[in-house]
RNA sequence: GGGUCGGUAGCUCAGCCGGUAGAGCAGCGGACUUUUAAUCCGUUGGUCCCGAGUUCGAAUCUCGGCCGACCCA
């Protein structure tokens, strides 16, 4: 394998050629990529500190500044020019005129291009229209941009290019920058929430000898020295519960999972999850805990729990709805009776009528789940916990003491999307072993997503896992919710694309 | 996997009942000392996604392919 195939074709054009010749001239005059410019001020800080001052106040103070950033706009007017530069905090306008820099320096500036990285020193002032600006005494080219920016007003509209060349999207699109800043704040708020609840943050393997903790197809890779197949993890669950066996009673991990499945507006092959486990708790505690987490994160990141998603409003500060799977089906289809929904033949008939996907070998529980996914899941706009998941689709969850066919498990749906999955953990090693064996039988019968048996995990459980509750939350989907993003690709910096 | 829409200058887009490609921005040259998507004058720039077919002639019509967006599975 060479890396050459990953390098896009060189696409030279007149604009790039022009800029290359400018760079060549700069090289001939000295250091073309200087790194000795001392930037002392950020655009946003200057606006915050001096934006309210009047023209006369600023003239009296003569505030010296040193700013740097990418030139986004340029307006040349003969003997004076304006330029707008952008740093990570925002934008500020430069004013360059023959009177101050001299005619030669101004002439050099006139040949700087949009997209170039500039450093400028000068004094703050206010223009006629009241815009805080820098009256430039010296402006330097710090990095020549050889490629032109997208059209300055419309920016980049082609989704493909926005994803493939995210750097351009970030340069030109304020909303994109904002989305990823919010993403960072969300993760930070989650970390702080768990730290405050005395959780230990851990890192467990990404390379697994046996993929486990979820029902999904793994990516396969090869370890040369050990000459063995390895799998990129589909979930960290079994490792985190080993840590609870070891006595870390509250643990969490925020990291990537990999699932070898299709791409969609809701699925990227690698995605970020937080999984957390707490000993001596159950799934009901987790639901309350999750409500607190979501409302707190929203409040800290957005300042409110009332959010708007794709034009509809919802409140993460209110208690979330809680429905059993059967209730969730009946909510939108009240014509179905409890008796019908616990009748295998009836369920299969309905699923066939709906042309829905289901596994014919499933029992009542699995068929109910298929019907729920077909009829109700996408309609659960307001936050809703669905409880009473059947044992057969929950091989790692503790069965209910009252009803052995169902587990102490929930999934959380918001805006019609699964966003979290939690349960009281199965800590009976013999039951767990029997469940693994059932999964292996299903895998041998052709279910590619069925789980492998992890003998060491059984051994760990045999040492005793305290009663424990655990949950996973999809960070990307949470970010979508809080940034009003329609596609998971809008919240992942470099989403997966077909190779160019 | 199926359906719909799209791929034309560096970018944003027009042109599509067939007649050999246009605008705005960006670039280049010129005018302009408070502009802010600056303005005004001039000007350079094209594998019309790829391949085949129909035709005297294809960006335009037909078929196949590639890539993408959205919807469905």
- For residue range A65-105, list pLDDT tens digits in order: 999 999 999 999 999 999 999 999 999 999 999 999 999 99
Lowest mean pLDDT among A139-153, A181-195, A436-450: A436-450
**Cβ of A55 < 7 Å from strand B?**
no
Is residue A123 scored above 80 in pLDDT? yes
pLDDT given for residue A13 in this prediction: 81
Q: How confident is the model at residue A169 (pLDDT cuts 50, 70, 90)?
A: very high
Which nucleotides in chain B lie less than 7 Å from some protein C-beta?
9-13, 24-29, 31-39, 44-45, 66-73
Distance A264 CA to B66 C1' (A): 20
Structure confidence by residue, pLDDT tens digits, A304-355: 999 999 888 999 999 999 999 999 999 989 999 999 999 999 998 888 888 7
**Cβ of A498 < 7 Å from strand B?**
yes
**Cβ of A78 < 7 Å from strand B?**
yes
Write down the H helix ranges in A111-173.
Answer: 159-164, 166-172
Kindly state the average pLDDT of the residues A109-136: 96
Distance A159 CA to B55 C1' (A): 37
Report percent pLDDT > 70 for chain A: 98
Do A418 and A386 contact (CB within 8 A), yes or no?
no
Distance CA A441, CA A432 (A): 14
pLDDT given for residue A105 in this prediction: 95
Distance CA A94, CA A299 (A): 37
**pTM confidence score:** 0.93
Helix or strand or coil: residue A134? strand
Q: Tally helices (H) and strands (E) across chain A.
A: 17, 18
pLDDT given for residue A449 in this prediction: 82
pLDDT given for residue A65 in this prediction: 98
Report percent pLDDT > 90 for chain A: 78
Kindly state the average pLDDT of the residues A12-16: 84
Within 306-325 of chain A, which residues have Cβ less than 7 Å from strand B?
none
**Cβ of A356 < 7 Å from strand B?**
yes
Distance CA A473, CA A420 (A): 4
Do A169 and A162 contact (CB within 8 A), yes or no?
yes
Name the range with the highest mean pLDDT among A8-22, A373-387, A457-471: A457-471
Distance A24 CA to B49 C1' (A): 34
pLDDT given for residue A4 in this prediction: 32
ipTM of the complex: 0.90
Within 366-385 of chain A, which residues have Cβ less than 7 Å from strand B?
none
Is residue A5 scored above 50 in pLDDT? no
Write down the H helix ranges in A221-323.
Answer: 237-245, 283-302
Q: Which residue is nearest to nucleotide B68 (CA to C1')?
A: A160
Beta bridge partners of A251: A200, A277
Q: How confident is the model at residue A11 (pLDDT cuts 50, 70, 90)?
A: low
**Cβ of A95 < 7 Å from strand B?**
yes
């Amino acid at each position: 394998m060479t890396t050459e195939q990953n390098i896009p074709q060189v696409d030279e054009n007149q604009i790039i050629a022009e800029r290359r010749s400018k760079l060549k001239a700069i090289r001939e005059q000295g250091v073309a990529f200087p790194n000795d410019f001392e930037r002392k001020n950020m655009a946003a800080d200057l606006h915050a500190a001096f934006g309210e001052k009047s023209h006369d106040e600023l003239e009296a103070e003569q505030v010296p500044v040193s700013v740097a950033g990418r030139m986004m706009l340029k307006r040349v007017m003969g003997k004076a020019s304006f330029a707008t530069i952008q740093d990570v905090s925002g934008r500020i306008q430069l004013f360059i005129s023959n009177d101050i820099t001299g005619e030669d320096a101004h002439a050099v500036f006139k040949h700087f291009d949009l997209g170039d990285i500039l450093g400028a020193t000068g004094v703050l002032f206010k223009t006629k229209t009241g815009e805080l600006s820098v009256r430039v005494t010296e402006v330097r080219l710090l990095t020549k941009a050889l490629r032109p920016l997208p059209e300055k007003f419309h920016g980049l509209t082609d989704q493909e290019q926005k994803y493939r060349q995210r750097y351009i999207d970030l340069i030109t699109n304020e909303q994109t920058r904002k989305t990823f800043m919010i993403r960072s704040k969300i993760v930070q708020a989650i970390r702080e929430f768990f730290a405050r609840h005395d959780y230990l943050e851990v890192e467990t393997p990404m390379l697994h000898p046996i993929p486990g903790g979820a029902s999904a197809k793994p990516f396969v890779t090869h370890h040369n020295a050990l000459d063995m197949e390895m799998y990129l993890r589909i979930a960290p669950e079994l490792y985190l519960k080993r840590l609870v066996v070891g006595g870390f009673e509250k643990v969490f991990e925020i990291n990537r999972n990999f699932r070898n499945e299709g791409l969609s507006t809701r699925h990227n092959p690698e995605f970020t999850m937080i999984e957390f486990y707490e000993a001596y708790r159950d799934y009901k505690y987790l639901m309350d805990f999750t409500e607190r987490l979501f409302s707190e994160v929203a409040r800290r990141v957005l300042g409110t729990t009332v959010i708007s998603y794709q034009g509809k409003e919802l409140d993460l500060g209110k208690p979330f709805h809680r429905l059993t799977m059967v209730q969730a089906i009946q909510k939108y289809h009240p014509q179905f009776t409890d008796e019908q929904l616990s009748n295998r033949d009836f369920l299969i008939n309905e699923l066939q009528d709906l042309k829905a996907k289901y596994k014919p070998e499933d029992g009542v529980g699995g068929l109910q789940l298929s019907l729920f996914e077909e009829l109700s899941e996408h309609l659960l706009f307001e936050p809703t916990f669905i409880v009473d998941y059947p044992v057969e689709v929950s091989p790692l969850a503790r069965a209910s003491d009252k009803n052995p066919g169902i587990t102490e498990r929930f999934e959380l749906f918001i805006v019609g999307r699964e966003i979290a999955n939690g349960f009281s953990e199965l800590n009976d090693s013999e039951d767990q072993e029997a469940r693994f064996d059932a999964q292996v039988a299903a895998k041998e019968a052709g279910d590619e997503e069925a789980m492998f048996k992890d003998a060491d995990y059984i051994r760990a459980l045999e040492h005793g896992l305290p009663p424990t509750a655990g949950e996973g939350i999809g960070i990307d989907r949470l970010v979508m919710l809080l940034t009003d993003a329609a596609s998971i690709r809008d919240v992942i910096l470099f989403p997966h694309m077909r190779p160019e």
